[in-house]
Amino acid sequence: MRPFAASAPELVTGKGAGVLPRHVAIIMDGNGRWAKQRHWPRFAGHKQGVEAVRRIARAARAMGIEALTLYAFSSENWRRPESEVSDLMGLLRLFIRNDLDEMVRDNVQLRVIGDYRRFAPDLVALIDTAVARTAVNTGPILVIALNYGAQAEIAAAARRLAERAQAGTLDPATIDEAMFEDELDTRDLPPLDLLIRTSGEVRLSNFLLWQAAYAELLFVDTLWPDFDADTLAAAVEIFGQRQRRFGGL
Ligand code: IPE
Ligand code: IPE
Ligand code: MG
């Protein structure tokens, strides 16, 4: 595990300040461990995790980040006990109910990536209404990844292109990266600049595999419920210090 503070000596210099990532994605991990440290039920960690979502969505807006994508429920998280899955769904319901008015007021565009239509019908309806209500907004984009899995997203994109080719409306020889990207859930978002994972785990867990091709990766030990505006600012500062080469010199 890389200690967050120690990996950022450049913070002192302030070099690179002002280079803002357009699109930041976060694998919000460590809710369970945060609760365990306190001998509290896992639910308490998830509840604090929602507070962190609120905090970080606001902080990202204040910093001028165009798009923030948060991994809230993976296509693999169904493997958790049913009670935990239903706790997470309940918290999602509450979050949308409580925060939608603020998002509308703050000109936020709420979007969802992932196969969220597998959720309970009332939750699907709530999500659709929330997305529709903010669709006219023109400000910062908040993307929640729900029942998201990058491999399924890529397979679905390939399937749709194959269907068009089979129907004779697409020449397979014309399929390129840009056309493929147009089939991904992230098609209308700015390119991913910075991908952060909290809690010390160093893996992508099936998140934005295509989009991360040239993203800067940052793994921090902070548990998600402890992630705050200062942690985000420090991450953005580190991003500003990175030299992105995209294969060039
Ligand atoms: C992240 O925290 C939240 C979700 C995956 C929904 P975890 O629940 O994975 O927390 P840990 O990894 O058990 O600490
Ligand atoms: C990744 O966290 C998924 C989300 C943050 C929603 P997990 O806690 O599910 O990932 P693994 O199982 O440790 O890889
Ligand atoms: Mg986890």
Tens-digit pLDDT profile for residues 81-138 = 999 999 999 999 999 999 999 999 999 999 999 999 999 999 999 999 999 999 999 9
Residue of the CA atom closest to atom 9 of ligand 2: 77
Q: In what order do the strands lie in the sheet with 67-74?
A: 109-113, 141-148, 67-74, 23-27, 194-197, 216-219
Q: What is the mean pLDDT of the chain?
A: 94
What's residue 64's pLDDT? 97
Question: Dmax of the chain from CA atoms?
Answer: 60
Sign of the torsion angle spanned by Cα atoms 177, 182, 187, 188: positive
Looking at per-residue pLDDT, the higher value among 6 and 50 belongs to: 50
Say what the pTM is. 0.94
Distance CA 244, CA 232 (A): 20
Which residues have C-beta atoms less than 6 Å from ligand 1? Answer: 28-33, 49, 73, 77, 88, 199, 224
What's residue 145's pLDDT? 99
Residue 142: pLDDT over 60: yes
**Does 73 sit in the ligand 2 pocket, CB within 6 Å?**
yes
Kindly give the interhelix angle for 229-241 and 42-63, rounded to the nearest 10 degrees: 60
Residue 221: pLDDT over 70: yes
What's residue 17's pLDDT? 56
For the CA of 28, the nearest atom of ligand 2: 5
Confidence of residue 8 (pLDDT cuts 50, 70, 90): very low
What is the number of the ligand closest to the CA of 92?
1
Tens-digit pLDDT profile for residues 40-68 = 999 999 999 999 999 999 999 999 999 99
Pocket probe for ligand 1: among 38, 199, 226, the residue whose CB has the most ligand atoms within 8 Å is 199
Which residue shows structure tokens 């000109």? 107
Q: What share of the chain has pLDDT > 90, as a percent?
A: 93
Domains and CATH numbers, the chain: 23-149+191-241 (3.40.1180.10)
The catalytic residues are 29, 77
93: CA distance to ligand 1 center in Å?
18
Of 66, 67, 68, 72, nearest to 93 (Cα)? Answer: 72
What's residue 18's pLDDT? 65
What's residue 9's pLDDT? 38
207: its two tokens: 């998140």
Q: What angle do CA 73, 145, 239 make, to 5 degrees?
A: 110
What's residue 108's pLDDT? 98
Residues with CB under 5 A from ligand 3 (ion): 29
